[in-house]
Structure 1
Amino acid sequence: MKTKRHLKKKLFISGILLLPKVAGIAVASESLSITNTSTTLTRKEINSRIDTSRVIDLDEVTVVSQPKEHVRLRRQALSSNVFTDNELQSLQLKDISRLSSLTPSFIVPAYGSRLTSSIYVRGIGSRSGEPAAGVYFDNIPLINKGSYNRHFYQLDRVDLLRGPQGTLYGINSEGGLIRMFSKDPMKHQGTYVSCGIGTGLYSNAEIAQYHRPSDNFAFSAAAFYTGQKGFFNNINTGGNADLSNEAGGRMRFMINNGNRLSMDIMTEYQYTNQNAFAYGEYNNATGHFSNPSTTIMSGYKRQLVTSGLHLSYRAPRFIASSTTSYQYLNDMMQMDQDYMPADYMRLIQMQKSSAVTQEFTIRGNGENKWMPVSGIFLSHQWLRTDGPVYFGDDMNAMIKRSMLGGLTNNPGIPQNVKDMLAGMTITDNNVPGVFHTPQLNIGIYHESNLNLNRRLKATLGIRYDFQRISISYDTRSQFLLNMKMTMPGGNTVPLNRRYTSSLNGSAEKNYSQLLPKFSLLYSTDNSGSNVYVTISKGFRAGGYNLQMFSDIFRTEQGSLGAGLMQMAGGDMNVEHTPEDYSNINNTITYKPEESWNHEIGTHLNILGNKLHADIAIFHTQIRNQQLSVMAGKYGYGRMMINAGRSRSYGMEMSLRGSAADGHIKYGATYSCTNSTFRKYTDGENNYKGKRVPFIPQHTFSLNADYCLNIEGSKLIKSVTAGADVNGNGRTYWDTENNFSQNFYAIAGVHVILDFGKLKANIWGRNITDTRYNTFLINNSADGTSRSFAQQGNPLQIGTDISIKL
């Protein structure tokens, strides 16, 4: 009897280890966790997975540590998508902008650099200001949005959650949440090497080592390089306008003291150096793209350090967690702000940011009727921004014309003075500035999950969030006015006068928010299918718009007028009154944006678990909407205000299926979003009913793989052929809805050859060479309305090879 029981136990364990191969999942056996903090697979569930036509829940296949959640995503009352390591590799998903192309209602346009990471979810988002979605990396909240768009490598999984996640995740998760998880050295073993090459001189290389010396200790080290020469030439400066090089590395150490205490230490560094903002002139009537042609080559450099310590203690009735992090960002952006060969304006922005976070969480352990989770979160960010703006010769000539106004035609002004003014020049015109903008955030939260009966579950949550934002600024506008005065004897005397306008001030605002959440989820069967309803509140943080100081000074210079006569007698230093500072502080400050989200959805496992369908219908009302407008009241140029309200409603759908005994796997997503202004006037125009810019009305994606197993071959084990297509539109680029990108679609293909330890992925993206805009801006720097667009990448083909040793 003992021998039989021992044999049965060995067979059961062997079946578990063979499960990924039997189910047709191309992951290492050690990456499948059978038991974890939130999921325990029963013998019946394991046996059900032997049917290779069934679809395996990705959230279950790649299990990750979740200190705040009790159950898997598809058993929660929310809309989400999960991407595993296999999908990230086969579809070449290397950052969040590529990832969003396969996610409904979740858009991260490629604006031309790693810095600009604008996120739009269900009609929430904007070009500037705070982000609409939070980003977590290995349970560490990324504080500075400049660190969001990073290169993906050696990841186990990425989650995208839609709808407000503020109850558990707090500030800036109004639209949703992105969670990235690196590979766990406790589950992965060995050496991973990969390299790739493609058109545009794309190149990529990775190496990673995972080692587990004992049952209680494991560590990993990984490094990467990626780069490209690019596709778009700057015809004025010469060179590729989208050339880029990136490199970095990560180390991770994990210690488990039995089943009670665990420690996870991670640190990562990433370096980016890229030519950026390849915006070329675009003809809206003909759809013709011109190559970028700027005065200088725009660029972006960035150094990122992310370090974290996660501690977890498991008791019979609760699990307590602590996550501590330190984050450092040092970057520099250089941009030709008029995007033309003529020299109007250029900006250099340098940021140095340090942030620390601390979060304590405690949640119930086991399966009980009441499953609570409570926590406290603290973060502090120190941010220094140096943002000098330089006005070029063409802008100086425009400022001169604005300054002179009607002075040269005034009959009361002597002719020699008119001649002097007509011959004057402006040089050394720039706006240096140093800005300190520290931010403090404190959050206290609780969420209760109540199993009302065997099928019905209610979730009640509340969070109190406190935010303090501060600014101190030391900036000035300065230029040299060069004139020649004719003396009574006919001689000319040069006059060089210095103009200076300085602003040195500070401001501080405190905001507090209560973020409630309520949901009901009803399980319709025993396979995991359910329907749900959720009501939740979200918000985006307030802040300061630093770049508008150059507009303030530009307006002052243009209205100088008769003050030019004063400068004939000496240098000018503009004084500012307390009322000026009050107006400036009110102008640069914008308050938090608030929203209420109402959602009805379902997660279905149908056709004998051969198809997973996730469908959601949402309605979102936004108040104090953050909008970038012209400051007509004070005459101070652009600013972020809270003058608008909007409404978004729509639906989103995700499908995942399997057929032909697991040889065919397919997926599809679709979303439609109607996002319009309900209240927004700028003093001259009423935009009620206009579409909110940058929000696609429709998004969709389709993908399918066919895997052919090569029986009896010692060389090759399988060949997988796949295709995918995704698209979106129409997308409006301005509040007037005058400029837009029509609906478009791009297609890709890939063939994966599996030789066992070696895999080769031959891929193509945008194989139809579709032309489309990812971003468009209208510029009138020279007095003529011109459009400049970031064009999507053309046809790309390449090969990636990966080896597991």
Structure 2
Amino acid sequence: MNFKYILLLLFLFTIVSTSIKADNIHEGGDSVIIRYTGKEVVIESFKQNNNLYIQPVAASLLTGKEIKDFNIINIKEITSLAPNLFIPDYGSKMTSPAYIRGIGSHRNAPSVGLYVDGVPYFDRSTFDININDIDRIEVLRGPQGTIYGRNTMGGIINVFTKSPFKYKETNVNLTAGNYNNYQTALSHYGNVNNKVGYALSGNYLHSGGYFKNKTTGKKADPIDAVSTRARLSWRIQPNLLMHLIMSYEYSDQDGYPYRLFHKDTGKIDEVNYNAHSYYRRNMSTNGLNLEYITDQYKLSSQTSFQYYDGKQGLDQDFTPQDLYYVDFYQRQQMYSQEFNIKSLKDDSRYSWQFGLFGFHQNYFQTNDTDNRTANNHTLQTAKNPTGGFAAYHQSAINDIFTEGLSLLVGIRYDWEQTKSTMNRTTPKETEPTVNDKTSFSQVTPKASVEYKFNKDGLAYFSVAKGYKTGGFNNTAEKDEDRIFDPEYSWSYEIGSKAGFLNNLLFFDMSLFYINWENQQISQTKTSGKGFIIKNAGKSVSKGIEVSAQVNPLRNLSFQLAYGYTNAKYKEHKDYNAATGETTVYDDNYLPMVPQNTLSVSGKYTFDINQKWLDNITLNAQYIGAGKLYWTDNNDISQDYYGLFNSMISFAKKDFSIDLWAKNIGGKEYVSYYFSTSSQHYVQKGKPFTCGMNMNLKF
């Protein structure tokens, strides 16, 4: 607990040191943060007031221009671009576990939330989305339960599509690269008298795959994906707006290029299995947002519906032999409704917001395991309908005791009920249907103290409780293992944000300490075959995050994002009933958590101003992560690794050509690891890739 006192002392030190420099920051009454970062438009989402850069929260913002400059295609590629953010590549779109500050989950419900245009994505099978031609991505680090609720212990990833009131254009994008990578994208944004706005976009992606399967002689991981988005915005009255957002995606992927890993020697075999493995996903996401805006407040309603179904076929033995094969099917229907009212006068001494949230989620899955050596099947089906509601409030009181000192407090109450209906048929019998239900409730408070320096910088100290809901183990072998309880965390954080040297430098730093209790941990079943979730752990995660941007010249800029996380178990024991042994993991590092994340990028634009060419832009980027452990034992790990990426763009008015390359030098690393009862498997990271983009805007 001494670390919390250190945080408080650093907070006081930050106030003193920043106040000494404040006179050199302010100029002309404008906000250096907004001018410096080039975000002239105030970023405002459904629940957040003002620009994130002047809020007492650790946050990173990736603009659409930055996403294009980094040649980012999907959500997994934002790893390390925000400090302490890590999204490993599982091998297919079926699951995308996200980790922030060491908080995450790779087997059950996510611990990091994802929202797209205010629509919640509750299941990690929906996380891996195409982010072509979007407006921005916000990454909020630390517990966000007061405003966002369940399953946001680690933080929130907010994705925003382009508004037709802000953009009026048609974009055509063509991409071609090695490994038979192709992408075609088309989008159109328009509005009529700034009253009715409309947007349509479509994207087709094909990848020929990166890794060859020795048995079949074909690539193990090709993918074809089609996605569409539509948006209708209507200014019904001057104070009343409506936004209707619809999206659909279909993907057909031959995933899982897993290789046998020999733990004793470190040798990695080739991809080598016989049965066709794949994952196909249909997903439709829809949202209706209504906003009534006055000079005093904004009243919002967000109605959402998401449907997806996914089917997986998996050669579970990953060998050329016909041993085990699994067919897995999952389907979700998720409905949610949220009402939010918040004050808009940020220059007043008091600001507030209230909200109500409700949801219902239908979830169905089947798991058909084919033991081909014994010629028998085990079929299991499960239904897990879940519903809940929440109420929350947040208040901010400004200029307490002295000008610039503010207090923010918030509280949220969540209640939900979940049910389980499970059927299991083995080669010997059809077991009786198991029905069960349970409910959970939780109060999550938050408080922060903030000190602003002439609107150009701030320092803050915050305390927040995190909460992740409990649930069912549908494959439990004992009644007492069927339900696992919620987990909790208390997070302590200090941070500071400021601009320096007349807009030359913007600097953002935060330190955090997280106490994580009743932790939901994957443990071995009684039979020794498979895993279930148990509340069996207690951990502490602490670290530092630094972001900086430097503009030494008009056409030259540099960006830095660095995060350090020290996340260890304090109490974690795993009893294996099959062997009668108990393994103690106390003081081991948490798996799937890189101790360091690093992103360094630079950009320079040459002004040509010729008839055939306006400018040439050079982008260079370095991304690193590690060291990280893959197991609770800490016996298998991935050392720190770094990847070099680059892009050179040639632009003439609204036409540009980009030449890009990723993983220059072909750095080899392991992107994912898992084990069965007797074998270990890894997936390698993507090799060197290069290609060309052609972009036309009119």
TM-score category, normalised to shorter length: over 0.9
Corresponding position: 1:610 with 2:504: yes
Corresponding position: 1:372 with 2:352: yes
- CA shift, 1:70, in A, is 2.1
CA distance in 2, matches of 1:48, 1:368: 21
CA distance in 2, matches of 1:294, 1:587: 34
SS at match of 1:74: helix
Corresponding position: 1:728 with 2:625: yes
Q: Does the CA-based 8 Å contact 1:269-1:305 persist in structure 2?
A: yes
Corresponding position: 1:667 with 2:559: yes
CA distance in 2, matches of 1:47, 1:66: 20
Paired residue type of 1:681: K
Paired residue type of 2:454: D
Match runs of 1:228-627 below 5 Å = 228-284=207-263, 287-366=266-345, 367-393=347-373, 426-427=374-375, 429-451=376-398, 452=400, 453-478=402-427, 499-527=428-456, 529-546=457-474, 548=475, 552=477, 583-584=478-479, 586-627=480-521
SS at match of 2:47: coil
Structure 2 vs 1, CA of residues 622 and 151 (structure 1 numbering), >3 Å: closer, same or farther? same
CA distance in 1, matches of 2:98, 2:189: 33
SS at match of 1:680: strand
Q: Give the TM-score normalised by the residue count of structure 2.
A: 0.92
1:580 corresponds in structure 2 to: none
Cα offsets for 1:426-479 (capped at 9, x unmatched): 42x11112211111121100000110253111110000011211110111111x
Match runs of 1:198-237 below 5 Å = 198-237=177-216
Structure 2 vs 1, CA of residues 623 and 47 (structure 1 numbering), >3 Å: closer, same or farther? closer
Of 71-80 and 131-140, more deviation after overlay is shown by: 71-80
SS at match of 1:87: helix
1:33 corresponds in structure 2 to: none
Q: Does the CA-based 8 Å contact 1:343-1:392 persist in structure 2?
A: yes
CA distance in 2, matches of 1:697, 1:619: 14
Corresponding position: 1:57 with 2:26: no
Structure 1 gap segments, 5+ residues each: 1-41, 394-425, 479-498, 553-582
SS at match of 2:429: strand
CA distance in 2, matches of 1:267, 1:471: 31
Corresponding position: 1:753 with 2:645: no
2:672 corresponds in structure 1 to: 775
1:678 corresponds in structure 2 to: 570
Paired residue type of 1:84: T
- CA shift, 1:213, in A, is 1.7
2:578 corresponds in structure 1 to: none
CA distance in 2, matches of 1:47, 1:540: 37
- CA shift, 1:788, in A, is 1.2
Structure 2 vs 1, CA of residues 682 and 439 (structure 1 numbering), >3 Å: closer, same or farther? same
SS at match of 2:224: strand
Paired residue type of 2:501: L
More strand, by proportion: 2
CA distance in 1, matches of 2:233, 2:677: 56
1:638 corresponds in structure 2 to: 531
Aligned counterpart for 2:594 among listed residues 674, 696, 700: 696
Structure 2 vs 1, CA of residues 716 and 286 (structure 1 numbering), >3 Å: closer, same or farther? farther
CA distance in 1, matches of 2:275, 2:482: 29
CA distance in 1, matches of 2:397, 2:114: 28
Aligned-residue CA RMSD (Å): 1.9
Paired residue type of 1:796: T
Cα offsets for 1:377-415 (capped at 9, x unmatched): 00101111111111121xxxxxxxxxxxxxxxxxxxxxx
CA distance in 2, matches of 1:48, 1:63: 13
1:719 corresponds in structure 2 to: 616
Q: Does the CA-based 8 Å contact 2:220-2:257 persist in structure 1?
A: yes
SS at match of 1:387: strand
SS at match of 1:160: strand
- CA shift, 1:750, in A, is 0.7
Paired residue type of 1:454: E
Q: Does the CA-based 8 Å contact 1:129-1:545 persist in structure 2?
A: no
CA distance in 1, matches of 2:126, 2:507: 33
CA distance in 2, matches of 1:61, 1:289: 50
Q: Does the CA-based 8 Å contact 1:90-1:761 persist in structure 2?
A: no
Structure 2 gap segments, 5+ residues each: 1-25, 576-581
- CA shift, 1:45, in A, is 6.1
Paired residue type of 1:640: I
Aligned counterpart for 1:737 among listed residues 622, 631, 634: 634
CA distance in 1, matches of 2:676, 2:123: 28
Match runs of 1:21-60 below 5 Å = 44=28, 56-57=36-37, 60=39
CA distance in 1, matches of 2:516, 2:316: 31
CA distance in 1, matches of 2:124, 2:263: 31
Q: Does the CA-based 8 Å contact 2:146-2:412 persist in structure 1?
A: yes
Of 65-74 and 299-308, more deviation after overlay is shown by: 65-74
Q: Does the CA-based 8 Å contact 2:197-2:234 persist in structure 1?
A: yes
Paired residue type of 1:381: Q
- CA shift, 1:637, in A, is 4.6
Q: Does the CA-based 8 Å contact 2:387-2:417 persist in structure 1?
A: yes
Q: Percent identity?
A: 27
2:547 corresponds in structure 1 to: 654
CA distance in 2, matches of 1:678, 1:710: 59
SS at match of 2:573: coil
SS at match of 2:77: helix
1:559 corresponds in structure 2 to: none
Q: Does the CA-based 8 Å contact 1:476-1:503 persist in structure 2?
A: no
SS at match of 1:681: strand
CA distance in 2, matches of 1:542, 1:442: 15
SS at match of 1:500: coil
Q: Does the CA-based 8 Å contact 1:55-1:658 persist in structure 2?
A: no
Q: Does the CA-based 8 Å contact 2:32-2:499 persist in structure 1?
A: no
Cα offsets for 1:109-135 (capped at 9, x unmatched): 011011111011111112211101111
SS at match of 2:583: coil
CA distance in 1, matches of 2:284, 2:31: 44
CA distance in 2, matches of 1:441, 1:56: 43
Cα offsets for 1:212-242 (capped at 9, x unmatched): 1222111011100111001101112332111
Q: Does the CA-based 8 Å contact 2:644-2:662 persist in structure 1?
A: yes
SS at match of 1:146: helix
Q: Does the CA-based 8 Å contact 2:503-2:551 persist in structure 1?
A: no
2:22 corresponds in structure 1 to: none
1:629 corresponds in structure 2 to: 523
Paired residue type of 1:773: V
Of 159-168 and 450-459, more deviation after overlay is shown by: 450-459
- CA shift, 1:755, in A, is 1.0
1:560 corresponds in structure 2 to: none
Cα offsets for 1:343-385 (capped at 9, x unmatched): 3322211112111110000001223211000000001011111
Q: Give the TM-score normalised by the residue count of structure 1.
A: 0.80
Cα offsets for 1:588-608 (capped at 9, x unmatched): 322211111100111121122
Structure 2 vs 1, CA of residues 267 and 542 (structure 1 numbering), >3 Å: closer, same or farther? same
SS at match of 2:66: helix
1:706 corresponds in structure 2 to: 604
2:85 corresponds in structure 1 to: 106
Paired residue type of 1:446: H
Structure 2 vs 1, CA of residues 45 and 714 (structure 1 numbering), >3 Å: closer, same or farther? farther
Aligned counterpart for 1:798 among listed residues 677, 691, 696: 691
Aligned pairs, number: 664
CA distance in 2, matches of 1:803, 1:46: 35
More helix, by proportion: 1
- CA shift, 1:208, in A, is 0.8
